[in-house]
Amino acid sequence: MIDPIALQLGPISIHWYGIIMATAILAAAWLGTAEARRRGENAEIGWSMLLWAIAGGVIGARLYHVIHQWDLSGIAGGFQGYSKEPWLIPQVWNGGLGIPGAVAGGAVAIYAFTRLRSLPTGRWFDIFVMALPLGQAIGRLGNFVNQELYGPPTDLPWGIPISAAHRVPDWANLNLYPEATTRFHPLFAYEAIASLLTLAAMIWISRRFAARLYDGDMLLIYIMFYGVVRSSLETFRVENWLIAGVPTATWLGLGGLVLAGGFLYLRHARGWGTPGAWIPQAEAQKRAAQNPESSPEAQPG
């Protein structure tokens, strides 16, 4: 187990969770910058948009988590839900960011930014979503520090310890589940590995089928991948946020898989887009970079 506070500077506590999340954002931004340039877009615009995406993503992720844990029976540490302890809502450094909410909040922010600036929304969705799995994979390490996002007890060699203070009631009985010997499924690690596999698959798809993809296709493909991952991992969890007896994340995951997959098929069957729309722009910028004398800016006025 790791102390969640990385550094104490007088009254100021610097948490590992914050450091890990900042690293995740910077790594995703680096990959997003490379993707923007590959698609012939101005990476500087992407950095401005990133501030909007971070704000929207954090707000959406926190709202999802707060709604999820609005009213709980409590874990061993005594947490009863945000309805009874609302002062804990802004304390994001203690963990509690839901990926579905982050994706929704970030998407709304990107949509608003691109509409205000008259930018190709679908293309910028694809740029940001290509970087998202990398940020997810790194960010999930924060769940390990905060001892959250774990599954049932396991005898597998990669099981992790969870202190009594962080256990849900199902596994809080230390007579049945002793702290010294009980290990749990590291769901955060499973999702991190799945995110890296998703990233590899999306990079391959985006390059292998670049000339056939429409702007916005990679967003739909990501939603499909994440729908499968999240729905699968949700079967390990207890005390889920349920709708009609089914975990909300499962509804969202399977719903996203079906809707995104259906729309991806339909838009290609109906021709609702331009295949490889970004390629001519990217090639023109590449030629201009190789021959700056031939660019419009280099011509005498």
Which tens digits make up the pLDDT trace of 91-145?
776 667 778 888 899 999 999 999 999 999 999 999 999 999 999 999 999 999 9
Q: Which of 197, 226, 199 is nearest to 103 (CA)?
A: 226
Q: Could you give the percent of the chain with pLDDT greater than 90? A: 60
Total domain count, the chain: 1
Residue 299 maps to a domain:
no
Q: How far is CA 61 from CA 84, 102, 276, in A?
A: 20, 4, 32
Torsion sign across C-alpha atoms 78, 87, 24, 228: positive
Residue 165 maps to a domain:
yes
Q: What's residue 72's pLDDT?
A: 63
* 3-class DSSP state of 270: helix
Residue 48 maps to a domain:
yes
Of residues 23 and 1, the one with the higher pLDDT is 23
Which residue range is the domain that position 234 belongs to?
5-277
Average pLDDT over residues 241-256: 85
Q: What's residue 71's pLDDT?
A: 73
Q: Could you give the percent of the chain with pLDDT greater than 70? A: 92
Residue 286 maps to a domain:
no
Q: What's residue 127's pLDDT?
A: 97
Cβ(191)–Cβ(148) below 8 Å: no
Q: Which helix (H) or strand (E) is 133 found in, with range?
A: helix 121-139
Residue 284 maps to a domain:
no
* Confidence label for 287 from pLDDT (cuts 50, 70 and 90): confident
Distance CA 176, CA 154 (A): 13
Average pLDDT over residues 281-297: 73
Residue 297 maps to a domain:
no
Whether residue 295 has pLDDT greater than 60: no
Average pLDDT over residues 160-169: 90
Residue 291 maps to a domain:
no
Residue 160 maps to a domain:
yes
pLDDT by residue (tens digit) across 167-216? 888 898 999 999 999 999 999 999 999 999 999 999 999 999 999 999 99
Q: What's residue 27's pLDDT?
A: 96
